Chain A
Amino acid sequence: MYYDKLIFEISNSGRKGYSLPDFGISNYEIPKDLLRKEEAILPEVSELEAVRHYTNVSFKNFGIEKGFYPLGSCTMKYNPKINEDISSMPGFNLHPYQPISTIQGSLEIYYETQRILSELSGLHTFSLNPYAGAHGELVGLMIMQKYHQDREDFKRTKVIVPDSAHGTNPASAVVAGFESIEVKSNPDGTVNVESLKELLSDEVAGIMLTNPNTAGIFEKEICEIAELVHDAGGLLYYDGANLNPILGVVRPGDMGFDIMHINLHKTFSTPHGGGGPGSGPVGVVEHLVKYLPTPVVKKVNNEYIIEDENDTAIGQISHFYGNYGVVIKAYTYLLSIGKENFANVGKHSVLNANYIKESLKDLYLLPIKGVCKHEFVFDGLIDKSNHVTTLDVAKRLLDYDVHPPTIYFPLTVKEALMIEPTETESKVAIDSFIEVMRKVAIEAKEDPDLVKGAPYNTVVKRLDEAQAARKPIVKYRDLLT
């Protein structure tokens, strides 16, 4: 059903969706400068109208609960409802200044989540305070900086980032006060060890890597890379964006990483994107634990305590303890899957990705052959004679109720179409995605204009993205003029 009204457009003067008791206070005074000069513009609707409006608006939304969502590098796995049930239990409705003795259970969850993340990743201790992935990166880099400064090594101003890295890596490095320098990739997307050797010096503070990398390829030379960086006096930072495929199989700590962040909202099934908030716990090896941000939750003699400040930490980087509600959801997921099943999460995500890759590589160009991990990148259609681009394919997928994969990223692949199915999809769902992708490739060959004009079944058709970016209309009132 087509619905495109704003709530202001269904507003009727004087209509109310509430009934309040009489205002019983007569003797009050509000300073004049604090009084409104004009009435607030608020929509006036009945309760039913409001409910209908937002229900209709919600139908326009696309989420994992509506359809297949293979957005590469985002790990759009299903978020089980039990996570929501547990986190909304009344016992978790806390105040941050409550006496410690009254929140021992909540602190236990917090502490246990830290401990399980350590066990899964091989890093000694975690802080759950950072709010999201990029925040975790910043915190991790601040720890890296403090480590070098404490050794009175002030020359280390550079951080190495691969050319295929997520854009947040070089951005976080710069925000933390480093200069970001780029290391070239091999044709298969892995780090070129020779170019890395050339970049290493006593000015390098560390390197930021994802493993598997952005192309979904495992860095097989990671141990050599770790040794080279450590020998040059630098630290290794692990971006947890691609942690999902290696869960329970191999651990960043064992590969030689010193600092990492985990996206609870990717790997540990908490809501994501518009449905967040996120959470980006940071873990470190033993000799860096003293730098973790405050407050720190600790277990002493079977009692949980909060250490508000200490002299060695980088400081406080969040209000209180970060997004605690997200931690409860992730903890629920950790216990639901259970230690004995975690290796299946990674393995199934890898199997699903490889199955899709092999089923489509006769129609879509696969620049990096071989076994991938949780995701892989096509370089558009093989048959480019009709000039149907990756953008056209992505738009056409919308007509088949599929969320498009990530497009034009990584930048190292020109017509990049990056697919990550995750482990939570059944073979039936994956087969129907493959069927749709094959159909679009055939349409591109037989009726290219159909694909170039897509989408047709959506609320709005092909948008002028350039115009939307150059002259955005972001306010309701601007739309009226």
Chain B
Amino acid sequence: MSKIVEGLYYTNTHEWVKVQDGFAYIGITDYAQESLGEIVFVELPEEESSLEAGEELGAIESVKAASDILSPVTGIIVEVNDELEDSPELLNEDPYENWIVKIDLESKSELHKLLNSTEYKEICE
């Protein structure tokens, strides 16, 4: 059973959102990293670019496949986790600790459209 952290927002495409100090941190779930297998490359977006919810923010390549990362929220990217460039395996090791981008949210109201941990758990079953 893959790990699901309480208190985060989730998407049905297996991204998570953590809101901290007014910013949204985005990563992929344990279920996502497990299905992808060993991750070998993470394509990161440019800092300061803006994103719509549902838009592709980057891509993950694993030994099995390449998959898009879709942004769960709308906003401006204030920081990307460039550690992932050299160490993509961090997403396998601890997917909830290693966020991919930090976003300045356009509106917090969008978060309510996302899934909570219980709803996300049902999707993974």
Contact = CB atoms under 8 A, between A and B. Distances in A.
Contacts of B37: 466
A466 B41 CA distance: 10
Interface string B16-50: 00000000000000000001011111000000000
Interface residues of B, number: 13
- Is the interface on chain A under 10, 10 to 19, 20 to 34, or 35 or more residues? under 10
Contact of A414 (B35, B38, B63, B66): B35
A198 interface: no
B65 A466 contact: no
A465 B41 CA distance: 12
B65 A470 contact: no
B64 A470 contact: no
A306 interface: no
Contacts of A408: 64-65
A469 interface: yes
A470 B65 CA distance: 14
B88 interface: yes
Interface string B63-75: 1111000000000
A409 B37 CA distance: 14
B67 to A, nearest CB: 8
A230 B15 CA distance: 37
Interface in A397-437: 408-409, 411, 414
A469 B64 contact: no
B89 interface: yes
Nearest to A411: B65
B35 A470 contact: no
Contacts of B63: 465-466, 469
Contacts of B40: 466, 469-470
A465 B38 CA distance: 8
Contacts, number: 22
B89 A466 contact: yes
A409 B61 CA distance: 14
Interface string A164-197: 0001000000000000000000000000000000
Contacts of A414: 35
Nearest to B62: A466
B58 to A, nearest CB: 16
Nearest to B41: A469
A84 B88 CA distance: 46
B118 to A, nearest CB: 24
B28 to A, nearest CB: 16
A17 B61 CA distance: 45
Interface string A332-353: 0000000000000000000000
A466 B93 CA distance: 13
A414 B64 CA distance: 10
B11 to A, nearest CB: 16
| Most chain A CB atoms below 10 A, which of B38, B41, B89 | B38
A465 B89 CA distance: 13
Contact of A466 (B35, B38, B66): B38
A466 to B, nearest CB: 3
Nearest to A389: B37
A468 to B, nearest CB: 9
A470 B38 CA distance: 10
Most buried by B among A409, A414, A465, A466: A466
A343 to B, nearest CB: 36
Contacts of B41: 469-470
A278 B87 CA distance: 37
A370 to B, nearest CB: 26
B106 to A, nearest CB: 23
A460 B113 CA distance: 50
Interface of A: 167, 408-409, 411, 414, 465-466, 469-470
22 contacts: A167-B66, A408-B64, A408-B65, A409-B65, A411-B65, A414-B35, A465-B38, A465-B63, A466-B37, A466-B38, A466-B39, A466-B40, A466-B63, A466-B89, A469-B40, A469-B41, A469-B61, A469-B63, A470-B40, A470-B41, A470-B88, A470-B89
Given A411-B65, A466-B39, A470-B41, 8 more contacts: A408-B65, A409-B65, A414-B35, A465-B38, A465-B63, A466-B38, A469-B40, A470-B40
